[in-house]
Structure 1
């Protein structure tokens, strides 16, 4: 633990969760883990962005509208807010969500010079995420060099998947280079499983699929209380079709795109991650906008049909992989807030004894399955920020699970 920062009873953990065009942040009381503040900056890179901050009672406490050119501008805005609220918000540690740390960095760990160097070398694995995440860390390290900084990896939840679900059928040299199925949205899955453990006895005996559906969508199969399989692979582009990401493609389709067009690998990455998915079909990747376009718009119908059809296929495939299904959880922006999408996904799934109750689903009850459904269908709110805060606290108190990969790593203060 950092020696020159003394912990008192009124200090907090700051959590930073960076997206492609947004930045979420939250402040948790170190001792009680009660969330004191939650904020989000949206529209980063657009002509006009928005920062909203809510208090512990979920009442809006502040709103600012400005032009945030990049993640550095958004970071500066948060730092300014922290300075203005220093009396009520003394930060002891900062936790960061990191989407990808490669094969050697999955378990949460203290930010060191070596870790930053390793992550910089891995940018090619997550070019749409890691640059912003590293910029965020560097900005806050520069401003708060004496604080404890902890990196929490989205891939941690999936690290114990069995080999048949973890590795690709490719020459062994690629496996040695770190080419494997990492899986993502791990903080979300971990939070849902923690809540289920609190609510159900023997949850580790259940076979569960969690559908994290949002701008980025994925599913995870959980068996014996651990991640067993997931839809995303080496990158967050794989699996389900998403807002602007293509999802799974035949490798031949990627070769076709490269051979038939004079584009670089970087240009192809942009096309697959920012110009594909539902945006390519409907003209927008925003699910609510697509639903509002109505049944008369063929593009909207095509996008929704594809999204729900793929979700059905992955639910069935993951259930087959585990050898059964006891519980299906919907979470994420779409999964939690769109009864129509949930109903469409669950329609005609009777063959799996999976039946949704339309009335319960419209009221967004916790359990939305019919009494005759053998599979329990639930809607749950996720909280990635809480899991980051919890991991940060555990690391600093020495209670976090350690991986031998990190046991000899020194903790170097970054200045």
Structure 2
């Protein structure tokens, strides 16, 4: 019998998974379902065996998880799942550490859906589906906001009245599981840099930067929601709040129209008028494609300079995420903009949110075992 840990990372249209051996965290199986809700496709491997197959058109997250579990069952080499770890984008102020999921935890996290409408519903749907399909094993919630939970108030407040801040209108920050992994990798493989001042750039369809000092989050570009900061694949990033008021009041956009525009029609897609896919933009000859990439690189550099100010300098810059790892022209453009900051080390570190979740969840399950929960 091999004890195992299942890690699920549910996005708005994707579901990534890994099965780890519980003791050594060796990868037993891994894969992902992409284009959930449309032409869903599963790619997975276990050992030397690989599978690629289309799912039913329009398959939802529950159907995606069912397909993942069917693959796991076919390759189950006497595994016993000890727990299921879930990525949760928003934990608010209440959840600053990974926790065992309970009915009360679920109610609290459902209340945060308006702050992460593209992600939180799917994160929670994966928990509900796993409870039905995996069986009676504990679920662990791992939070993207937790890594930033201890920011100095200068970096967590908006310039609004205190009573609104106390009601939760504040900066939280996201991509914390990715940044926690970067900090862990720096501590293990680049200890000198880990002790210094580093900007980590998680660049993908969702994008943000994090200022790390001594491996701890000092400041980050995202705010109350995952909409603020850098322009992203389809999200606008930072925008004058007065512009949003104008579009709603004077252009008749309405709340739902504004939300759809800001979350789903903006960013690289809105700038280029073509695509939110950086590879497609890099191969396009359209002037607006080049403009979108130039704009993105400039904004990354501008926000990075601001984060360097938050730390009082810069010793290293780490790229991670799909764009950060694979789009070398974008990395080069960002670095060209930042040459004025002087010399600093530049690294590319592969994102591994799933392993970070496994490490966090194993600690939670071990503590629960000690307490007899």
TM range, smaller chain: over 0.9
Q: Is the 8 A contact 1:208 1:221 kept in 2?
A: yes
Gap regions ≥5 residues in structure 1: 1-8, 354-373, 401-406
Q: SS at the partner of 1:32? A: coil
Note the 1:41-56 alignment, pairs <5 A.
41-46=33-38, 48-56=39-47
- Residue of structure 1 equivalent to 2:203: 213
**TM-fit CA distance, 1:121:** 1.4
What residue is the counterpart of 2:359 in the other structure? Answer: 390
Match runs of 1:92-107 below 5 Å: 92-107=82-97
CA RMSD of aligned residues (A): 1.9
- In the TM superposition, residue 204 of structure 1 has moved relative to its aligned partner by 4.7
Per-residue CA deviations over 1:112-162 (Å, capped at 9, x if unaligned) read: 010001111111111111111111101111223420110000011111111
Given the superposition, is the C-alpha separation of residues 81 and 60 from structure 1 closer, same or farther in structure 2, using an over 3 Å criterion?
Answer: closer
Tell me whether 1:148 sits opposite 2:117 in the alignment: no
Residue in structure 2 matching 1:332, options 297, 321, 326: 321
What aligned pairs does 1:191-202 form with structure 2 within 5 A after superposition? Answer: 191-202=181-192
- Alpha carbons of 1:320 and 1:149: their partners in 2 closer, same or farther (altered >3 Å)? same
Q: Quick check: 1:228–1:322 contact (8 Å CA) kept in 2? A: yes
Q: CA deviation at 1:224?
A: 2.7
Matches within 5 A, 1:77-92: 77-92=67-82
Q: Which stretches in structure 2 are left out of the alignment for 5+ residues?
A: none
Indicate the residue corresponding to 2:113 in structure 1.
Answer: 123
Tell me, in whole angstroms, the C-alpha distance in 1 between the residues paired with 2:351 and 2:126: 23
* Secondary structure at 1:161 match in 2: coil
SS in structure 1 opposite 2:367? coil
Q: Aligned-pair distance for 1:80? A: 2.1
Give the structure 2 partner of residue 237 of structure 1: 227
Q: Is the 8 A contact 2:301 2:337 kept in 1?
A: no
How far apart, CA to CA, are the structure 2 residues paired with 1:143 and 1:71? 12
| 2: CA distance, partners of 1:13 / 1:167 | 37
Aligned twin of 2:247: 257
Find the counterpart in structure 2 of residue 378 from structure 1.
347
Output the CA distance in 1 between the equivalents of 2:192 and 2:326.
28
Work out the CA distance in 1 between the residues paired with 2:255 and 2:87.
Answer: 26
After TM superposition, give the deviation of residue 77 of structure 1 in Å. Answer: 1.1
1:95–1:151 contact (8 Å) kept in structure 2: yes
CA contact (8 A) 1:52 1:60 kept: no
Q: Distance in 2 between matches of 1:68 and 1:259?
A: 35
Q: Does 1:30 align with 2:49?
A: no
Matched residue, 1:111: 101
State how far apart, in whole Å, the 2-side matches of 1:348 and 1:21 are.
33
**Equivalent position SS for 1:147:** coil
Q: Report the CA distance between 1:54 and its aligned residue.
A: 2.3
Distance 1:114 1:399 in 2: 17
Q: CA deviation at 1:34?
A: 0.9
1:69 aligns with 2:59: yes
1:18 to 3, 10, 20: 10
| 3-state SS of paired residue (2:85) | strand
Query: 3-state SS of the aligned residue for 2:236?
Result: coil
In 1, Cα distance between equivalents of 2:344 and 2:73: 50
Q: Summarize the Cα distance change of 1:399–1:226 in structure 2 as closer, same or farther, 3 Å threshold.
A: farther
Contact persistence 2:193–2:315 (CA under 8 A): no
Deviation at 1:76, TM superposition (A): 1.7
Separation (CA, whole Å) in 1 of partners of 2:155 and 2:82: 39
Name the structure where helix makes up a greater proportion of residues. 2
Match of 1:269 among 249, 259, 268: 259
Aligned partner of 2:296 in structure 1 is 307
SS at 1:347 equivalent? helix
* Contact 1:12-1:28 within 8 A present in 2 as well: yes
1:249 Cα deviation after fit: 0.6
Using the TM superposition, give the Cα deviation of residue 274 of structure 1 relative to its aligned residue in structure 2, in angstroms: 0.6
How many angstroms apart in 2 are the aligned matches of 1:291 and 1:204? 33
Deviates further, 282-291 or 144-153: 144-153
